[in-house]
Amino acid sequence: MACNSIISDENIKEAFNTDNIKASFMKATYCERDDIKTAFIDIEKNGKKLLEHCCIHKEYIKDIDYKFVKLQGIRIKTNLRNSGISKKIIKRNIKIYRKENFKCIKLNAIQDGMIVWSKLGFKFDNIKDERTILRYFRDYLNEIKKIKNKGYTSIKSIDSSDFFDSKINFTDWLSENTKLYGLPMTMEL
């Protein structure tokens, strides 16, 4: 397959193997075209599945001038969130993808991903998207937590505890009060 020159199956799995996390393919990788390799990856640690749904869907794309990774979906199990798994995986991804000469990782952030990906170093492709989320965050703080503006200027600077309240967390509140969905984000490698 011509697309195998983009990245080997071995390196796709290696990009997830960290801290006893092991990756496997849900089905064989395949070429959508000569310039796109698709993989569906499952991850586990100590024999326990880490994902809430079937798999991580990634596309490895060779453009005219460079290669990039498109992350189509990943959802860590709810009880495992805030345990550092995503951070460890992204660090490992960066190391392997840089070695393989990828220039960036792209994704469309949904729900709590709009916060998590930002905290992990992804930037919104449109700076207005982050400003919009910050505006809604100030509304959340005021309405739910009864806190006036704390002066946050970026999502990355927000204290993680401010995202949570016994009534409703910020991302659930955001889903109920807005139609924000699938915001494009990129991490340059």
Residue 27 maps to a domain: yes
Residue 142 maps to a domain: no
Residue position matching structure tokens 């991850």: 43
Strand, coil or helix: what is 23?
strand
Q: Return the higher-pLDDT residue of 108 and 65.
A: 108
Q: Is the pTM of this model over 0.85?
A: yes
Burial 111-135 (b: 16+ CB within 10 A, else e): ebbbbbbbbbebbbeeeebbebbbe
Q: What is the largest CA-CA distance in the chain?
A: 58
pLDDT given for residue 176 in this prediction: 92
The tally of domains found in the chain comes to 1
The string of pLDDT tens digits covering residues 106-161 is 999 988 889 989 999 999 999 999 999 999 999 999 999 998 878 888 999 998 88
pLDDT given for residue 81 in this prediction: 81
pLDDT given for residue 180 in this prediction: 86
Residue 82 maps to a domain: yes
Asked if residues 108 and 125 have their Cβ atoms less than 8 Å apart, the reply is no
Window from 11-20, 55-64, 81-90, 123-132 with minimum mean pLDDT: 81-90
User: Does the pLDDT at position 1 exceed 80?
Assistant: no
Task: Kindly report the CATH number assigned to the domain that includes residue 92.
Answer: 3.40.630
Residue 29 maps to a domain: yes
Residue 164 maps to a domain: no
| Domain, as residue range, for 102 | 2-109
Give the mean pLDDT of 83-92.
91
Give the mean pLDDT of 46-54.
91
Strand, coil or helix: what is 154?
coil
pLDDT given for residue 17 in this prediction: 93
- Helix (H) / strand (E) element for 45: namely strand 36-45
